[in-house]
């Protein structure tokens, strides 16, 4: 089981890094679900709650069928220690940030802000012409 948990941790760490570098195309499925395609599989990250109504992030891997081939959540990684990427102390923090970043990319929020910032910079770069 330790090897499986290690694979889970490596997967979310690699997804986080690739998402931060904008190497993955994320799609918003619903308000709380994003997915991407990698290696011919579909990976979804869902924000939900556990039985105590605490936030929970579920990662699922689909291989062409309607039911997930693999599924885990941040609680499965709770005892694994701190992630090896970013400054996160828990995998909950890492997957939460991954989900947020993937959602921003899927909705185009990052691109919108980038374009507004670029236009504001270009406006400030124009020399004032005296009248």
pLDDT digits (tens, 9 = 90+) for 97-111: 999 999 999 999 988
Does pLDDT of 124 surpass 60? Answer: yes
**Total number of domains constituting the chain:** 1
Does residue 47 lie within any of the structural domains?
yes
- 5 neighbors 80 (Cβ within 8 angstroms): yes
pTM for this entry: 0.86
Quick check: is 130 in a domain?
Answer: no
- Give domain status of residue 131, yes or no: no
Domain span at 61: 2-125
Stretch (H or E) spanning 19 = helix 2-20
């Amino acid at each position: 089981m330790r090897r499986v948990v290690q694979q889970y941790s490596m997967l979310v760490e690699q997804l986080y890094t690739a998402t931060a570098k904008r190497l993955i195309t994320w799609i918003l499925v619903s308000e709380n679900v994003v997915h991407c395609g990698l290696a011919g599989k579909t990976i979804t990250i869902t924000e939900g709650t556990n039985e105590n109504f605490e936030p929970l992030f579920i990662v699922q891997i689909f291989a062409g069928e309607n039911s997930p081939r693999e599924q885990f959540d941040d609680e499965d990684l709770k005892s694994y220690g701190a992630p090896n990427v970013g400054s996160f102390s828990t995998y909950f923090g890492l997957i939460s940030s991954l989900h947020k970043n993937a959602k921003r990319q899927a909705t185009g929020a990052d691109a919108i802000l980038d374009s507004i910032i670029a236009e504001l910079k270009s406006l400030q770069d124009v020399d004032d012409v005296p009248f």
